[in-house]
Amino acid sequence: MSARDTVEIGLNRFARRGYDLDEISIVPSRRTRDVDDVSTAWQIDAFRFDIPLITSASDAVVSPATAIAVGQAGGLGVLNGEGLWTRYDDPAPQYRRIAEAAAAGAPPVAVLQEVYAEPVKTDLIAARIKEMSSGGVTTAIRISPQHTEQLAPAALAAGVDLLVIQGTIVSAEHVTTQGDALNLKEFIADLDVPVIVGGAANYTTALHLMRTGAAGVIVGVGADTYSTTDSVMGIRVPLASAIADAAAARRDYLDETGGRYVHVIANGRIETSGAIARALACGADAVQLGEPLRAAAEAPGGGVWWDSVAAHPRLPRGGTSAAVEPTGSLADVLHGEARSADGRTNLFGALARTMAKTGYRDLKEFQRVDLVIGGYHPVSSDPSTDGRAG
Is residue 388 domain-resident? no
pLDDT, one tens digit per residue, over 263-319 is: 999 998 899 999 999 999 999 999 999 999 999 999 999 999 998 777 776 766 776
Is residue 390 domain-resident? no
- 163/143 Cα distance (integer angstroms): 8
Burial group, residue 375, by CB count within 10 angstroms (0-12, 13-18, 19+): exposed
Give the pLDDT of residue 54: 98
Q: How many domains does the chain have?
A: 1
* CB of 55 closer than 8 Å to CB of 288: yes
Give the pLDDT of residue 9: 85
pLDDT, one tens digit per residue, over 41-90 is: 999 999 999 999 999 999 999 999 999 999 999 999 999 999 999 999 99
377 or 231: which leads in pLDDT: 231
Give the pLDDT of residue 83: 96
Give the pLDDT of residue 388: 40
* CB of 252 closer than 8 Å to CB of 210: no
CA angle 128, 134, 138 (to 5 degrees): 80
7 or 120: which leads in pLDDT: 120
Q: CB neighbours (10 Å) of residue 356?
A: 17
Contacts of 152 (CB under 8 A, 6+ apart): 143, 163, 165, 187
Burial group, residue 117, by CB count within 10 angstroms (0-12, 13-18, 19+): exposed
* CB of 201 closer than 8 Å to CB of 242: yes
Say whether pLDDT at 176 is over 50.
no
Say whether pLDDT at 383 is over 50.
no
Strand partners, 13: 10
Say whether pLDDT at 339 is over 60.
yes
C-alpha pair distances (Å), 16 with each of 60, 205, 348, 371, 376: 35, 16, 33, 20, 22
Is residue 349 domain-resident? yes
* CB of 172 closer than 8 Å to CB of 184: yes
Give the pLDDT of residue 387: 36
pLDDT range class, residue 105, cuts 50, 70, 90: confident
Give the pLDDT of residue 175: 39
Range of the domain at 282: 19-373
The domain that contains 298 carries what CATH number?
Answer: 3.20.20.70
Amino acid letter for position 4: R
Short-list 67, 112, 171, 102, CA closest to 307: 112
SS3 366: helix
Is residue 380 domain-resident? no
Q: CB neighbours (10 Å) of residue 109?
A: 19
Residue 225 phi, psi dihedral angles, 5° rounding: -55, -35
Give the pLDDT of residue 180: 63
| Average pLDDT of the chain, as a whole number | 88
Is residue 14 domain-resident? no
Give the pLDDT of residue 108: 78
- 58/81 Cα distance (integer angstroms): 10
The whole-number average pLDDT for the span 153-160 is: 98
Burial group, residue 30, by CB count within 10 angstroms (0-12, 13-18, 19+): exposed
Percent of the chain with pLDDT over 70: 86
* CB of 236 closer than 8 Å to CB of 269: no
- 170/180 Cα distance (integer angstroms): 16
In the chain, the N- to C-terminal Cα span, in Å, equals: 41
Runs of H (alpha helix) within the chain: 64-72, 92-103, 109-115, 122-133, 148-157, 184-189, 203-210, 229-233, 239-257, 273-281, 330-335, 347-358, 363-366
Is residue 11 domain-resident? no
The whole-number average pLDDT for the span 237-244 is: 93
The whole-number average pLDDT for the span 173-199 is: 77
369 or 222: which leads in pLDDT: 369
Is residue 7 domain-resident? no
Give the pLDDT of residue 247: 98
- 360/81 Cα distance (integer angstroms): 37
- 342/340 Cα distance (integer angstroms): 6
The whole-number average pLDDT for the span 315-338 is: 85
Is residue 156 domain-resident? yes
Give the pLDDT of residue 88: 98
Radius of gyration of the chain, Cα coordinates, nearest whole angstrom: 20
